[in-house]
Amino acid sequence: MRFSTSRPGNCLILLVLLCASAATIGCDNGSWPLWRSYSSRFIDADGRVFDPSGDQHTTSEAQAYSLFFALAANDTQTFHRVLDWTEANLAQNDLRTHLPAQLYGKNKTGQWAILDPNSASNADTWIAYSLLEAGRLWNSSAYVSLGRTMLELIAKNEVANLPGFGPMLLPGPSGYQHGNTITLNPSYLPLFLFERFAAVDPSGPWQQIARNIPRLLQQGSRHGFAMDWVEYVSGDGFYPTTDPLAPDQPGSSANTPRGSGDAICVYLWAGMLNRDDPQRAAVLNADPGMSAYLETHDAPPEVINEEGIPEPQNGPVGYSAVMLEYLRAFPHLSRATARQLIRLTEEKQVETGLYGRDNSYSDQCLALFATGFFDGRFRVGMRGELNVKWKR
């Protein structure tokens, strides 16, 4: 049953739930509590962002997202540290000539080293975006210059023309093109990043990519849900697939087409689009299965299988954070939004200031994006520019 905001009783209940839940997210007029908790747990003194579970590895994606969070928090010191570590350890001391390697950790001899030199374009685009916006907001020409140079490297190494479709961002420079088949990751394509790149670098491929993103999201979601990976077959279109560079292990989830930890970000980026963006409606409506599912379920599913059927296990708390702004775009889903807020309230850990019983890195990362946006700490402008709460 659809919840109608025209019914006074339901409106009152919803208002109480929203107010009670929103009060626990952590919006204040000054510092950002979740960022403080995140940075103290996941960023070391040198600026390396690591996952404390397991082997404590570092990814370029984690470095990139932390740069963005530091900028949104007006935390210049952490921004400098994270950027310096990234350049020194993942980019051979020069981001002007080398895109950062995507994985760093202990090798077979126990030494800390690059484990996968292939770059990841989602990290590269977020680093470039954070540099460009840090340069503008902090009045640093050096950051702007470095961001522009990274855009040139990305355009040269990580953009390909899909025959019959147009230019698109590859997940990385190698391993994703095989004859007439090209593998893509929809979560690597926040529309507002490419709108910003188009404004900064009009001669690049960014405007064309931005125009193609809604079509890719629509055509790549054959069953109404975003998928982690899709392949484009020339003359035939998009199909769910797996990461072609994942280890080939029989029975592994990495070898089964699905929508899960990557795909959830598609909904996050959709919700963050400027409300007046002319392509917002197309992006929001590209994956109608999720909004329909949450009309009758308390939380997003952890996995969507290849046939577009949600599996019964609820996703982690970070998935609920992602849905806050996405669901607010659909007025009839106000009660679903309240359910996600209540879940966040229930899973906020007082001792750590983090979300979820295991305080996982991925949940905190999703929550920083989602609650930071929901609380109004940052917004995205019509040309993809970052609008922040703080003042210099």
Identify the CATH number of the domain in which residue 118 sits.
1.50.10.10
Domain count, the chain: 1
Predicted local distance difference test score (pLDDT) of residue 250: 56
Determine, yes or no, domain membership for 247: no
The answer to whether 363 and 317 have CB atoms below 8 angstroms apart is yes
Non-local CB neighbours of 298 within 8 Å, separated by 6+ positions: 314, 339, 343
Query: pLDDT averaged over the chain?
Result: 92
Determine, yes or no, domain membership for 83: yes
Predicted local distance difference test score (pLDDT) of residue 350: 95
**For residue 15, pLDDT beyond 80:** no
Determine, yes or no, domain membership for 350: no
Determine, yes or no, domain membership for 293: no
Determine, yes or no, domain membership for 76: yes
Model-level pTM? Answer: 0.93
Determine, yes or no, domain membership for 290: no
**For residue 35, pLDDT beyond 60:** yes
The answer to whether 165 and 353 have CB atoms below 8 angstroms apart is no
Determine, yes or no, domain membership for 91: yes
Banded pLDDT at 306 (limits 50, 70, 90): very high
Task: List pLDDT tens digits, range 91-119.
Answer: 999 999 999 999 999 999 999 999 999 99
Helices (H), 44-190: 60-72, 76-90, 121-137, 141-157
The answer to whether 366 and 318 have CB atoms below 8 angstroms apart is yes
Q: What domain range includes position 83? A: 33-157
